[in-house]
Amino acid sequence: MRRPPRGSCRAAALVLVLVGCGVLGGCATGPSLEAQGAVTAPPGDSRHLTVGSAGFTESDLLAQMYALLLEEAGYGTRILSVTNRELYEPALERGQIDVVAEYAATFADWLNAKANGPDAPTVGSPDLAETMTALRALAAPRGLVVLDPGRAVDQNAFAVTTVFAAEHRLKTLSDLGASGLPVRLAAGDECVRRPYCAPGLREVYGIDVTAVDPKGVGTTPAKQAVQSGQDQLVLTTTTDATLDEFGLVLLADDKHLQNADHIVPVVNRARSGSAGVTRALSRLNTVLTTADLARLNEQVDSWRRLPEDVARNYLVAKGLIPR
């Protein structure tokens, strides 16, 4: 297990500090940047940075990789786990968290709803350039800088059994639509109405979705339902590490129904908006792929390895940090 860097605290203690000091309206740490204009002060370069994690495997892995890359660039780091975006995003604005890994389209829509209300039209889209433009415009007034996206994408995806795919020669969602096969879809309740889910599968791909089986997104019961033949299609994600265990394979989203949820580092401009931080974190962009991230998730979720060990081994193998 990697030891905490010098000057850092354990995550549990940091959560108490965070909740007690500002995120829930506690001690004064400076005004929120909400509803202000774009920040024009020079980007900050604090040498001691807090890297945020949202508390699930993939976020923990990304936080560990960010911390290691920053340490290699000469920064002191500590990792803070806050499992609720309603808490960690304001903390990022206030500088209690300096950098966090986010998902471009999802974060753009979240910031848009925060700024313009829950009924505001979505701004995330399958077009990465458009999504990034919208995201950066929403982030800047809050004192946040969105760095360039990498190659890794964690977005909604649909899987069938390998046997079903081979029997009907399916590689893409278009293949499934062209087959005319009726399918029951294991997914969350919201799939019935969400445009990226059952309605989109019908309208964009012509897939005959006969029913939505409300077993959740990528849950074990949902995958078991497809594995057993009760359902034929399951909603999961592109970095799902457990598909092989259930004999499942993803069908390619060849018409780009899903939004561009590329992984992007988001930093607090006043504390960590410097070129040094950008250079350190951007080193991951051309290396980490969606397939890589799925394999890293598998090592933690299925092989029970520690996220910090998995992250370090990956960066060493890619030549981004020394052994």
Residue listed under structure tokens 């950008």:
278
Tokens of 286: 């051309």
| Closest alpha carbon to 181 in 156, 160, 155, 152 | 160
At 223, is the pLDDT very low, low, confident or very high (cuts 50, 70, 90)? very high
Task: Quote the pLDDT of residue 303.
Answer: 92
Tokens of 124: 């995330």
DSSP class per residue in 227-283: HHTS-SEEEEETT-S-GGGGTEEEEB-TT--S---BEEEEEEHHHH-SHHHHHHHHT
pLDDT in tens, 108-148: 999 999 999 988 999 999 999 999 999 999 999 999 999 99
Q: Is 299 helix (H, G, I), strand (E, B) or coil?
A: helix
At 28, is the pLDDT very low, low, confident or very high (cuts 50, 70, 90)? very low
* Phi, psi (deg, nearest 5) at residue 275: -65, -30
Which pTM value belongs to this model? 0.83
The number of angstroms, rounded, from the C-alpha of 120 to the middle of its chain's C-alpha atoms is 22
Classify the phi-psi angles of 53: left when phi > 0, otherwise alpha if psi is within -120 to 50, otherwise beta.
beta
Average pLDDT of the chain is 89
Write out the H or E segment, with its range, that includes residue 306.
none
What type of residue sits at position 274?
S
- Higher confidence at residue 192 or residue 35? 192
Task: Quote the pLDDT of residue 40.
Answer: 54
| Closest alpha carbon to 105 in 287, 296, 257, 241 | 257
For the chain, which domains are there?
12-26+43-153+260-317 (3.40.190.10), 156-251 (3.40.190.120)
* Phi, psi (deg, nearest 5) at residue 281: -75, -30
Across 185-213, average pLDDT: 96
Number of helices and strands in the chain (H, E): 13, 10
Task: Quote the pLDDT of residue 61.
Answer: 98
pLDDT above 90 covers a percentage of the chain that reads: 82
- C-alpha distance from residue 134 to each of 19, 155, 284, 313 (Å): 30, 18, 23, 35
At 202, is the pLDDT very low, low, confident or very high (cuts 50, 70, 90)? very high
3-state secondary structure 7-34: CCCCHHHHHHHHHHHHHCCCCCCCCCCC
pLDDT in tens, 211-220: 999 999 999 9
Distance CA 52, CA 89 (A): 10
pLDDT in tens, 280-318: 999 999 899 999 999 999 999 889 999 999 999 999 999
pLDDT in tens, 90-110: 999 999 999 999 999 999 999
Cβ atoms of 274 and 43 within 8 Å: the answer is yes
Cβ atoms of 1 and 64 within 8 Å: the answer is no
Across 147-172, average pLDDT: 97
Task: Quote the pLDDT of residue 308.
Answer: 97
